[in-house]
Amino acid sequence: MAEGGIPDDDISLPRTAVNKLIKEMLPNMRISNDARELVLNCCTEFIHLLAAESNEECGRQAKKTIGPEHILAALKGLGFDHYVPEVEDVLEDYKIQATQNKRKATKLEDLGIPEEELLRQQEELFAQARMQQLQMDQEEQARAVAAAAAAAQASTSAASGGMLADSAQHAGNGGAGMTAAQRQLAQFQAITAAAAGPQPPSST
């Protein structure tokens, strides 16, 4: 539970987005679930730290709204100066994209599309995005379950093989005084018992 009674999951980054970034950065590398969780926690903690420092920088300048200049100042204050050029490039790209979106909105207004229709279309896009994210989460969980099942099956097969070898060896060692036919029968019974697995106790 985070400060203010807000659940930690509500202030964390979306796992799907972080997993997508990891896959894009390391396409040929398998990452364990523990490592993914650690990356998610580190990213979330970094954003919290940067937001707190930006808020203090905003207060020092007697501003009420955190702006890009406060973020850049916070990065420098926290010792992340090498991030500043890339952040400035992203900021410039955002400004260009925002200008293009504004022009598109103006064109839509010129076409006479009602605001209610635009809002409806926006809600549909949001719903589609949520559905896609849900499907990606379900697929990821299904892959994790399948991997766990495969590991469990492999472990069971290895254990069964060990039981079979032990049973055969026991039959061979205990059959020193048996005839060849008796030893074969004992080995067959051991193989059959190992294949059948442990039997539940009979109720009396």
> For the segment 5-26, what is each residue's pLDDT rounded down to a tens digit?
444 555 678 888 889 989 999 9
Cα dihedral sign, 58-59-60-62: positive
Q: Which residue has the higher pLDDT, 149 or 66?
A: 66
Tokens found for residue 171: 């039959």
User: Mean pLDDT, the chain, as a whole number?
Assistant: 79
Question: What band does 140 get if pLDDT is binned at 50, 70 and 90?
Answer: confident
Angle between helices 180-196 and 115-174 (to 10 degrees): 160
What pLDDT is recorded for position 163? 59
| b/e code 155-193 from CB counts within 10 Å (16+ = b) | eeeeeeeebeeebeeebeeebeeeeeeebeebbeebeee
Cα dihedral sign, 67-73-61-10: positive
| DSSP symbol at 74 | H
- Answer whether 36's CB lies under 8 Å from 22's CB: yes
Instruction: Decide: residue 70, CB within 10 A, 0-12 exposed, 13-18 middle, 19+ buried.
Output: buried
Instruction: Decide: residue 76, CB within 10 A, 0-12 exposed, 13-18 middle, 19+ buried.
Output: middle
Query: What is the H or E stretch that residue 142 is in?
Result: helix 115-174
CA distance 99 to 93: 10
Selection from 56-65, 112-121, 172-181 with the highest mean pLDDT = 56-65
Nearest Cα neighbor of 192 from 164, 153, 155 is 164
What pLDDT is recorded for position 150? 85
In whole angstroms, what separates CA 174 from the centre of its chain? 53
What is the share, in percent, of the chain residues with pLDDT greater than 70? 68
What pLDDT is recorded for position 169? 60
Q: Which residue has the higher pLDDT, 35 or 109?
A: 35
pTM above 0.75, yes or no: no
CA distance 33 to 50: 26
| DSSP symbol at 11 | G
